Amino acid sequence: MIAVFDQICAPRPDRGFAPLPVSTTAAGNMEALGMEEEEPWYDKQDLEQDLYLAAELGKTLLEKNREMEDSLQELYLTNEEQVQEIEYLSKQLEMLREMNEQHAKVYEQLDVSAHKLELTNQKLVQESKESQQKIDRLTGTMEALQNQVDSLTARVEELRSLEQLRARAEGRAIHRTVHSIPCFQELCGVGRCEDGAVRNLEAEQHSLEEENEGLRDVVAALQAAMCAERDRREGAERECAHMLQQSAHLEERLLVADGYRQHVLELEAELRELQQLGGVRGADRANGVSDTPTVLALSEGHAREEGAEPKGKGGGTGLVGPDSASVHKSCSDTALNAIAGRDAPGRKSAGYGPRANGMPGQGMSILREVDEQYHALLERYEELLGKCRRREDSLHHAGVQTSRPVSRDSSTRDCTSLVPPPSAVATPASGAAEGVDAQAETEEGGRAGHHTPEYKALFKEIFSHIQKSKVDRKSCKARKSNK
């Protein structure tokens, strides 16, 4: 402005004005003053034009000053947003570290439970082998006792037949010699000897009958013991099968835990990428470049990854099945919901307010509309997650309630001390709950064959809204440039 004023006040040779020399006399000065009074050294029209140019230049400088103040204010707001975004990312990193520590603890507990189940399984197998050997020994003993009872019964029958023959022979001999007295006396002596022999035979027969009764009682007791041992063996086999099922279930849980660990690593890598993109995004905002395309590219990349994961799981020969995939999805959704619920007030109060205050009216309306649409979709997403959690909790409670009745047979009491507590493993009746889960998953799979899942439709809607907001912002910029 000073340079312009100097330019205006500088003498112009086209107007016939020249600076006076310093060595002029007083007479020359008087003549020059008289000439100046007669002929003015400035033109009024040129002076007005110069003043108009000075006014325009001052106005332009004021507008430039205001624009620079606005840009400085925007830079301050952008800096505050970057600081808030860094704080939010640090909170997410802390959350992910806590989740990783919790998963590590769960892995340790699962390893301990699997080791205990393996030891219990080995003990049950050993007990089953010992029970089988004992049953074989008791069966051999019972067969030997049965053979002995049969031999003793045959001997008793032989003794009874011999006794009947001797009684008949004695009756005939007495009938023949009844008329001869000497012979009768001799026969009386013989009869007394035979009476002693008969008494001895009766005593021996009585002892044999008692022994036979005792052997029958022993056989009955052995049969009862064999039945009890058979029941105990069946209970041990059932318990062994249940332990095998629990071991398979724990192996599946270990596979799911490995999936959790991979997902945590992916989230940490994504968080590092977001932290690296934070500085680039702040520089783009300072230069006037929108960060919506970057967000859109990231969201489309996540959508492609989510679309490629089910194909790899369904067509490949991986170890993780549909159950582990559903648990993996529910765990990731739970983590995202926890992070969003923890930091949602900060995003609502600090993430969008400063930018809305520093943008024009039309940009503010577009951002508010996009913000409202995003929060509406986020609420829908949280409702869907809540429904999924309630359904899983109901199935879990149903499995726990059906697993309450436990067999209290005497044959399984010896094996209950070797089984871990209910908090570490599932009960035998949890197979019913697993069947219900499998039936629900087959029904969901059949429904998914006819239409896409709700969360995919929700993500598509979010991406469409982001694309729409991007197009609206581009159209607004084009309109402003045309104007």
313/170 same-domain check: no
On average, the pLDDT of the chain sits at: 67
Within 8 A by CB and 6+ apart from 258, the residues are 320
Strand, coil or helix: 181: helix
**Is residue 40 in a domain?**
no
**Is residue 233 in a domain?**
no
123/183 same-domain check: no
Distance between CA atoms of residues 127 and 116, nearest Å: 16
187/282 same-domain check: no
What confidence tier does 221 reach under pLDDT thresholds 50, 70, 90?
Answer: confident
Cα 477 → chain centroid: 45
| Amino acid at the residue 144 | A
Which residues in 428-450 are b (16+ Cβ under 10 Å) and which e? Answer: bbbbebeeebeeeeeeeeeeeee
Lowest mean pLDDT among 173-177, 430-434, 437-441: 430-434
Lowest mean pLDDT among 63-72, 125-134, 398-407: 398-407
**Is residue 210 in a domain?**
yes
102/167 same-domain check: no
Of 169, 196, 227, which one is at a domain's C-terminal end?
227
Give the pLDDT confidence score for residue 175 in this predicted structure: 64
Distance between CA atoms of residues 416 and 420, nearest Å: 8
The number of distinct structural domains making up the chain is 2
Arithmetic mean of pLDDT, 223-236: 85
DSSP 94-119: HHHHHHHHHHHHHHHHHHHHHHHHHH
92/157 same-domain check: no
435/292 same-domain check: yes
Distance between CA atoms of residues 434 and 248, nearest Å: 13
pTM recorded for the entire structure: 0.26
pLDDT tens across 455-475, in order?
A: 677 777 777 877 887 788 888
Distance between CA atoms of residues 224 and 193, nearest Å: 47
145/106 same-domain check: no
Contact 292, 469 (CB under 8 A): yes
Contact 336, 384 (CB under 8 A): no
* Domain interval for residue 299: 82-131+247-398+416-482
